[in-house]
Structure 1
């Protein structure tokens, strides 16, 4: 693991950065997540780092936490810049949808115990490593002809998500154990994360597509709806088997094998 700070120019990126606009808008909606969850993760891991420091034999994990934090800061910066292009391209209404999502994280940092914050964070990271596997192995036809800046953003980000896939898991295990209670609470955090984040992405995606469709003919609208259905079905079909593995008591993200094509994005 190491910290990377790639230069990615978003100045010419269009909202329809992939030939399939519905595919692009799905990931445009998803891009709002790192802008808010990454700062949340940083704060959670800083608290966890303080707890880990009180325990002997955690130096290696503490070093991983430091790199994890710095990687997440870089992810947030790049997605904030990318999202600004979306706002400037006529989707300023995204901000209104992002506000309550961001507020959830602020409130949780004030009200929720570290156990929950870490379990949720690990849930997000489990989603992230699964998303990396899907993006690198299942979606090449959607990425053919896509804007290289947008593709680089997602492949670099998801490659790092896969690279640090074990950090939250290991921190949660170190602080709260891996017995039955630790296992069940980890699953609770995962379900909370996938539900909370999924609901937010669905709202933003619906807004983006509604904006795109407001001037379409009836036939064009129907075609767009069908493309959306196909995109979501493809992503769900590829994601579900990977996400179900998280429910296993033997789940360990460290055992996952890196998908082909990921290495060049870890050399940026």
Structure 2
């Protein structure tokens, strides 16, 4: 599949900004993993939050950037903002297709927009702690999604699967930035710890509102078997993500101390070798879902 542009260069500080316009079939099935409808909609709910969460993160770090003291950190912040901007634009493109199937998702979006309007009025320290906290939680999410990619994305739609895993690769690349910016400006332990809890819970709750709407529309939410699968997936996530969250609460913690999944480096290497104008679609029919792209 071809892309309009392919940008493969460090925006700053070694953070690579990839302007990838993922393409989604207008007739794509929102249950993009046919064997896992509940998981499909849980991921769809997370996607729904991105065009509200990530602009909030960008605005917050842009404001904090004015007071940053470290030149390298300033450059990294620019890379962070560029990557996050590309993320939410791709998710928004996919979300517009979702809303054609589930029009009442617009109500959930308005609730999220209102939440972030309120958050924007809070202090910069609060907003930056929320941002650093959420970015810390994504490290656990990345580990889970990549380590269990065979089960979570095997035989699923390659465009949605590739979007999610690309997003996780870049979350790994800029994992230090929001944390370092908070430490540079404030460095206070308890607000950052509260930000981790508040940011993680808020995004998870917002995602839940979205996937419940979709599961209800599909007639699944009131079925015991379907509800159990949702809770099973929640527990799988908590079991995998909680260690990442708890270790971030240990004094002396820093995201750079956490080893990145090997698959991430393999993805970045494969992308660097990708021909011009190609969207990095993964082969989800391969049982291992290797970090190489279908051309």
- What is the TM-score normalised by the length of structure 1? 0.90
C-alpha distance in structure 2 between counterparts of 1:170 and 1:61, whole Å? 7
- 1:35 aligns with 51
Match of 1:74 among 71, 81, 86: 86
Alignment correspondent of 1:104: 115
CA RMSD of aligned residues (A): 1.7
1:147 match:
157
CA distance in 2, matches of 1:133, 1:122: 18
Matches within 5 A, 1:1-268: 1-11=15-25, 12-18=27-33, 19-52=35-68, 55=69, 58-88=70-100, 90-109=101-120, 111-177=121-187, 182-213=188-219, 221-266=223-268, 267=271
- Whether the 8 Å contact between 1:118 and 1:168 is mirrored in structure 2 is yes
Q: Output one character per residue of 1:67-126: Cα deviation in whole Å (capped at 9) or x when no partner.
A: 1111110001000001111112x21111101212111212222x2111111000001101
- Equivalent position SS for 2:16: coil
Segments of 4+ moved more than 6 angstroms? none
Give the Cα separation in 2 of the matches to 1:71 and 1:144.
26
User: How many residues are aligned here?
Assistant: 254
Residue 232 of structure 1 deviates from its aligned partner by 2.0
Supply the distance in 1 between the matched residues of 2:108 and 2:17 (Cα, whole angstroms): 31
Higher helix share: 1
- Whole-Å Cα distance in 2 between the matches of residues 81 and 249 of structure 1? 40
Unmatched segments (≥5 aa) in structure 1: none
